[in-house]
Structure 1
Amino acid sequence: GVWTMPKDKPFDAADRTTWPTQYRQDLPTFANIPTKTAALYVQDDWQALPGLTINLGLRYDRQLGSFNEDVAGLLGRIGDVLGPQFASFPVANPFIDTSTRGDRNNVGPRVGVAWDPMNNGRMNIHAGYGMFYDNMRTLQNFGELTWPQARTIIISNPAYPDPLQGQSRDAFLTTAAPNITAYSNTLVNPYAHQFAAGVTRQFAGDFAITADVTSVWRYSDRDDIDINLPDQASRARPFPQFARVTFGGPTSNNYYKALLLKVDKRMSHHVQALVSYTLAKADDSALRNAVADVYGFVRTDSPSIADRRHRVVASGIVSLPGETQVSAILDLRSSLPFNPATTLDINNDGYTGDTPRGVAFRSGCRDLSLDAINTFRSSRGLAPVSDVACASFANLDLRLSKFFRIQDYRFEFIAQLFNVANRANFNTPITNPASVTFGGVNQLLPNINAPSRQVEFAIRFQF
């Protein structure tokens, strides 16, 4: 099982602030959801005038099987593998109506325009719009079929170290309503409206400057909410035959807009270079129950987890005598947001992970209220914090290439130096306001090329 502890301190029976806030236990599960995908598209380029090209397109996408359209058949597949007891639900599921499932109207138009006003190849004014449909990821659908196998146990404020209080797992489950998963019969393929426009202008022969704006409005991603929360006053559940009802619906949206500026120099006089800057903003709008000021699930607008406001990338290549080449790339990024969530159930809806009162969801390194954070910390006997570490990203890589030719063969000796400055690029800070070290950094960004300075040597042989 998994324990949720309120702070980074060992359990102390004499200190309630160290008692666990939740215990969860699941059994392994199996499911098999076969799918089919079909797509059709048509596209044409039309040169309306000299220097003016219009691109028109239309695409149709269809996924079959990705919406659990045949729940009975899918349960039968499970029963064939695990036994007939898993070929049907042990309790009737009133939320499923497979007759209305599936998404059949995924028609995506797109149009693009490119215009060279002087028709001399030195300027390009361009714009485009398209509608894009994403695939449904069937891994998310398994829960609707596998909850009878998982037989999930969730206990709020459990006893420690024996949350079942001496009972066996089976004995505990005989007196507890099941936790189930169901998905909306109106789930659709997430879709996005994408728009971009800009201008590129060549100057001084070797240089070009580009300015673009882009926007993406994405709709109908999946939210998982509990539609069976107990009434705040009576604590009665709308569906008393169940405990939690995790319900997936097409209610999550996100938005992205950006300004992109770029200056590049083509290879001439032994030098090639590029500098780009991106000013961007990414926001989410989803149903969440993680705000202490509100009971249950409400629509919450917040920065996206990948929201970086500023990014600068500069690169260059210099050709030296003796078939030698030196190149470099510099990458600078502003900080990511984080969610200052506790491991507590502050709003008493049965779910841990609430932000303190007065603290907005995912407001860390954005508009975080330190006053509200410190009010919460004071209630837990913790010292106030004066700031949080909003880590930026900076990295410089260098490469030296030396070419040798022997008859018709070509050898390249490569020496690369990654993270030249040996800079520690930290991840978002410690996010739990109940932690003594809240706001400090203690781990590097995952999946970065060189967490510390690295040297690499290689030989490439072309023949």
Structure 2
Amino acid sequence: GFTLNLGARYEKQTSSPDNNNIMPRTGFAWDIGNDGRTVVRGGFGRFYDQLFDNIPNTEDLFGITGNFSITLTPGGNPGVFPTFPAVFTALPPGFGAALGRTVTLDLGALDPAARKTPFSDQLTFGVARELAADIALTVDYTYLRGRDLFRTVDLNGPAAFDTTTGATRSIAQADATRPYGSPSRVPGPYGISEGGFKQIRAVVSEGNGWYQGLKLNLTKRFSQQHFYQASYTLSRAENEQDDFGSAAQGADPFDFRRARASNDVPHILVVNGTYVLPRAVSFSAIASFRSGLPVDPQAGVDLNGDGFMTDRPGTLARNSFRLPASKTVDISVGKTIAMTGAQHIEVRMDVFNLLDATNVTQSNPVYGRVVGSPAAVFNQPIRVANPRQLQFAIRYRF
């Protein structure tokens, strides 16, 4: 038999000016032999995300008409700050002169009137085949294309600067190239130069994302006192920015290049199963093997003068290195003891990370300035997952 479903969905979020969020949906399933043993299936759908409340809230609080704060370091301005436990009763003499022309204003967020709601078009196609009465093999392909994703742009970012030559640019030189002006040279109130702007951050709907995945799954349903399942996924996830809280880290603040996403895991193999032994004893295990997460190399110094130490060296791409692959094996042994009536006692022991494998979850991203000569500490582990752990439990059911 053949089944086809067609539909559409519409959503409107009142905090967003986007009004055309129509989401078509379709799916089909085809029993090729009309015997329930081989099924071809697929589907397509458009799915809209939501506008996070913290985005407009931040724009209201720290945008053009919002608040801003100036942070000063006592050690950097000797003679200006009182000594504890004395407190400020008024701005002391020489306050403005001590600060000089060092303060600029940052706009925490800017609200683009044309912001759109992020969405993704998702496509899946697969085949399922019954190999035996209780064993099935499935092969599925998934494609996802994200559009209008949120990302942060510094609208007043300094001009692009070529960092591949090994040269650096000072913050003052970078500020002089900002399109909406550099810090004012005319002292404002209290002698503080507040006429200029530095960062003007805006969350815009211009991001893109891509995902492709092929999944193979072999499943044996529970029968003859056991079941098992094995799945392997080959995938690739890419985007232009990992999340809307991060900014471009290349030589050009407006250059968002397509690269591996921070959650890209090309290979994942998972095997699990349960066997029920005599005398109501059960044994379960799950083993997981996966590629390491990407590592985004950083120069460790401010190369282009934008004030951030997260610039990438030379021509290295975003997320172009990886953590070591990880492997985890967990097992569980349990026994159910029957009491009178409906009363039972369950005794259980779980062992996590049975092999006591060292699975790295974070490493040092500082590569250094020279491509081809990474720092000795680059990609060295700084955080790992839990070592072997045992857990015992007793449960009383009545």
8 A contact 2:325–2:359 mirrored in 1? yes
Within 2, Cα distance between the matches of 1:279 and 1:116?
26
| 1:162 equivalent among 69, 75, 98 | 75
Distance (whole Å) between structure 2 residues aligned to residue 405 and residue 244 of structure 1: 68
Per the TM alignment, residue 106 of structure 1 is displaced from its structure 2 partner at its CA by 1.0
Relative to its length, the structure with more helix (as a share) is 1
Q: Deviations over 1:331-388 (max 9, x none)?
A: 11111111111332212344331011122222123xxxxxxxxxxxxxxxxxxxxxxx
* 1:461 and 2:396 aligned: yes
Task: Tell me how far 1:271 sits from its aligned partner.
Answer: 1.8
* Corresponding letter in the other structure for 2:8: L
Q: 2:352 pairs with 397, 418, 428, which one?
A: 418
Counterpart-to-counterpart distance in 2, 1:146 and 1:164: 29
Indicate if the aligned counterparts of 2:153 and 2:253 stay in contact, CA closer than 8 A.
no
Deviations 1:225-247 (A, max 9, x none): 11113457892533234221112
SS of residue matched to 1:151: coil
Following superposition, the deviation at residue 298 of structure 1 comes to 0.8
Among 261, 266, 279, the residue aligned to 1:304: 261
1:123 maps to 2:38:
yes
1:179 aligns with 2:106: yes
Q: 1:164 and 1:58 mapped to 2: Cα distance?
A: 62
2:355 maps to 1:400: no
Kindly report which structure 2 residues correspond to 1:231-310, keeping only aligned pairs within 5 A, or say none.
231=159, 235-240=176-181, 241-286=196-241, 289-291=248-250, 294-310=251-267
**Count of paired positions:** 342
Distance 1:165 1:231, change over 3 A: farther
Map of 1:109 onto structure 2? 24
Q: Tell me how far 1:123 sits from its aligned partner.
A: 1.6
Q: Provide the C-alpha distance between the structure 2 equivalents of 1:412 and 1:123, rounded to a whole number of angstroms.
A: 40
- State the partner residue of 1:440: 380
Moved more, 342-351 or 229-238: 229-238
Q: Deviations over 1:155-186 (max 9, x none)?
A: xxxxx983456656985599734211202211
Change (3 A) 1:231 1:316: closer
CA contact (8 A) 1:391 1:428 kept: no
1:135 paired residue among 37, 50, 57: 50
The worse-fitting range, judged by mean Cα deviation, of 323-332 and 420-429 is: 420-429
Larger mean CA deviation between 355-364 and 345-354 belongs to 345-354
Does residue 62 in structure 1 map to residue 2 in structure 2? Answer: no
Instruction: Answer whether contact 2:159 2:252 (CA < 8 A) is retained.
Output: no
**What's the offset of the Cα at 1:326?**
0.7
Q: Is the 8 A contact 1:288 1:300 kept in 2?
A: no
> SS of the counterpart of 1:391?
coil
The 5 Å alignment of 1:36-75 reads 51-65=1-15, 67=16
C-alpha separation in 1, matches of 2:249 and 2:159: 17
Is contact 1:295–1:349 with CA below 8 Å preserved after alignment?
Answer: no
Q: What is the CA distance between 1:432 and its match in structure 2?
A: 0.7
Q: Say if 2:68 and 2:106, in contact at 8 Å, map to a contact too.
A: no
- CA 175–363 in structure 1, closer or farther in 2 if over 3 Å, else same: closer
- Give TM-score, length-normalised by structure 2: 0.79
Quote how far apart the aligned CAs of 1:260 are.
0.1
DSSP-derived class of the 1:253 partner: strand
> Aligned with 1:312: secondary structure?
strand
Aligned to 2:88: none
Aligned-CA RMSD value: 2.5
- Name the stretch that deviates more: 349-358 or 115-124: 349-358
In the alignment, the residues of structure 1 paired with residue 104 and residue 48 of structure 2 have an alpha-carbon distance, to the nearest angstrom, of 38
TM-superposed deviation, 1:259: 0.3
Unaligned runs of 5+ in 2: 82-90, 161-172, 182-195, 369-374
Give the Cα separation in 2 of the matches to 1:167 and 1:183.
37
Alpha-carbon distance in structure 2 between the residues aligned to 1:231 and 1:317: 60
1:151 to 54, 66, 69: 69
SS at match of 1:358: coil
**After TM superposition, which residue ranges in structure 1, 4 or more long, deviate above 6 angstroms?**
none
Q: Secondary structure at the match of 1:63?
A: coil
Instruction: Provide the identity percentage.
Output: 28
Q: Which moved more, 1:323-332 or 1:279-288?
A: 279-288
CA distance in 2, matches of 1:295, 1:110: 39
Of the three residues 121, 140, 143, the one matched with 1:193 is: 121
Superposition deviation, residue 302 in structure 1: 1.2
| Alpha-carbon spacing, 1:439–1:236, altered in 2? closer, same or farther (3 Å) | closer
- Give the conservation status (yes or no) of the 8 Å contact 1:288–1:298: no
Question: Contact 2:47–2:119 at 8 Å: present in 1 too?
Answer: yes
Tell me the amino acid that sits aligned with residue 379 of structure 2. G
Cα separation, partners in 2 of 1:236 and 1:457, compared to 1, 3 Å: closer
